[in-house]
């Protein structure tokens, strides 16, 4: 096993995967803008926050800090609550009855 060192290919791979994830977020954003209906926008928002969570995890790999992981966990928790509340709103017109 070789000694720990900066692997130059890894920096490139991290940058490229961040670009791909950013492109995925742009797709979701376009779906939020276009609609055509409210449920499409909620679905795209769900996809947007999942992708943002993955992007934060890739930053965590790049910097080797656990801070990004904790933020990703927070996004995962709050995003689910948001999607569930919005779905409830679309179903009944109320979030808390």
Partner 1 sequence: MSGAPLLPQWAGFLVGLLLLSGAAVTLVGAIGLLRFRSFYERVHAPTLGSTIGMALILLASLLSVSTGQGRPVVHELLVALFVTLTTPIALVLLARAALHRDRAEGSLRVPPERDEDGQPQSRPESRPLSRE
Could you list the residues that contact partner 1 (CB under 8 A)? 1-18, 20-21, 23-25, 27-28, 30-31, 37, 39-40, 42-44, 46-47, 50-51, 53-54, 57-58, 60-64, 66, 69, 72-73, 76-77, 80, 83-84, 86-88, 90-91
| Closest separation in Å from C-beta 29 to partner 1 | 10
- Of the pair 44, 97, the CB lying nearest partner 1 is at 44
* Token pair belonging to 60: 């965590």
CA–chain centroid gap for 47, Å, is: 7
| Closest separation in Å from C-beta 96 to partner 1 | 15
> DSSP 3-state assignment of 59?
helix
With residue 77 as reference, give the H or E element that holds it.
helix 67-92
């Amino acid at each position: 096993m070789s000694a720990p060192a900066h692997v130059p290919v890894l920096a490139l791979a991290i940058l490229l995967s961040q670009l791909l994830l950013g492109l995925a977020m742009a797709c979701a954003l376009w779906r939020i803008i276009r609609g055509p209906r409210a449920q499409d926008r909620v679905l795209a928002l769900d996809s947007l926050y999942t992708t943002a969570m993955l992007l934060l995890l890739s930053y965590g790999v790049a910097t080797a800090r656990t801070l990004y992981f904790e933020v990703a966990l927070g996004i995962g928790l709050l995003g689910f609550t948001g999607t569930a509340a919005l779905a409830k709103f679309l179903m009944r017109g109320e979030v808390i009855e």
